[in-house]
Amino acid sequence: MADNSLFYLKETYKNNCLAGDGIFTEKCHEWLKSKMAVSSALITHSCTAALEMAALILDISPGDEVIMPSYTFVSTANAFVLRGAIPVFVDINADTLNLDENLVEEAITSKTRAIVPVHYAGVSCEMDRIMSIAREHKLHVIEDAAQGVMSSYHGRALGSIGDIGTFSFHETKNITCGEGGAILLKNKTFSRKAEIIREKGTDRSKFFRGEVKKYTWQSLGSSYLPGEMTAAFLLGQLELADQYTSSRLSAWHYYYKNLKDLADKELIKLPYVPEGCKHNGHMFYILEKDLQHRNLLIDFLKKNDIGAVTHYEPLHLSKAGMLYGRCSGKLDQTVSNSNRIIRLPLWNKITPNQQDKVIETLYNALTN
């Protein structure tokens, strides 16, 4: 299947349709609703924007608490801190590096409003357990599925399981438009609020549908929609989502198969995908013994022209994290795994020959 992104871009320019919410935006919305099996989907200018919208939809207020992992990108916390809420950081599982569902309940207080599971590397959190806890305590669940487009949990698309789901289409993601995101909703009330919040707090969408004679300021909101050229480019990428996912999964499994011997010898630890979780090959990482060994291995890879990198610094150890958030219990797994992780090169068109160089270099470093 051909990549139509550039063709769609030319169409927007030719037809002088540059502002948001045009025909290509609507096609992106329809693709997401159909593929993710949700009643409402809106593309945004980033996953950060989608998370901020989620905070506004839920009327998150000063003093509210929101449970999340510390091992995540800053946007997960920022979206709620901007509303005056307190991020409550919970430790991660040692196997998936996802929010430890067994530690969530003890983090709940009378001030808790929501739980934000982050699907690390496109591998799902234990959503059945998290949703059960949320329902029992009357809490909302916002899925940070920034890395989870085209992943699923027991047959359900990530982003479609919680009350609200958020995606990223940043250039570092599997499906990209440079900068972009989306918010997924199942609740009609939330969908109506999202439409207004996304359009600067106005009912502009109703005006374009002919439902009101003029649009007016209805509530808090901001400019969360992307331009039509971004939507046009994104549509071309969404049309190839299955193809891109397949190629990334092939590369992921190639690494796994050829590095398993090192893992069997306990020289490294490989990623773990629980039963029932179908991931998207977003990232392939290995875990070293400790911080010192991790840094030495990264240096060795760089000397061999291989760009391997670490990932998140735990939010609870950051200046802003200590100022705005608090921890629930010890976060030993968060600290340990953030010190040990190395992300290996992986992109849609990586070749086996390129991967072979990475694999050979790892064997040279770890077995000689």
Q: What is the per-residue pLDDT across 49-100, written as a single tens digit (0 to 9) for each? A: 999 999 999 999 999 999 999 999 999 999 999 999 999 999 999 999 999 9
Does one domain contain both 235 and 254?
no
Residue 1 confidence (pLDDT): 55
Domain boundary among 239, 273, 294: 239
Q: Where are the alpha helices (DSSP H) in 157-269?
A: 188-198, 204-208, 228-238, 241-264
Quote the CA–CA distance of 122 and 2 in Å, as a whole number. 25
173 is catalytic: yes
Q: Which of 10, 138, 173, 289 is catalytic?
A: 173
Q: How confident is the model at residue 207 (pLDDT cuts 50, 70, 90)?
A: confident
Q: How confident is the model at residue 139 (pLDDT cuts 50, 70, 90)?
A: very high
| Those residues with Cβ within 8 angstroms of residue 135's Cβ, 6 or more apart along the chain or in another chain | none
Average pLDDT, the chain: 95
Q: Which residues span the domain enclosing 52?
A: 5-239
Q: How confident is the model at residue 169 (pLDDT cuts 50, 70, 90)?
A: very high
Does one domain contain both 305 and 252?
yes
Angle between helices 23-36 and 228-238 (to 10 degrees): 40
- What CATH number is attached to the domain comprising 172? 3.40.640.10
pTM value?
0.94
Quote the CA–CA distance of 104 and 92 in Å, as a whole number. 10
Does one domain contain both 139 and 278?
no
The residues that bridge with 115 in the sheet, in sequence order, are 67, 141
Does one domain contain both 235 and 261?
no
H or E stretch covering 141:
strand 140-144
In a 3-state reduction of DSSP, which class is residue 153?
strand
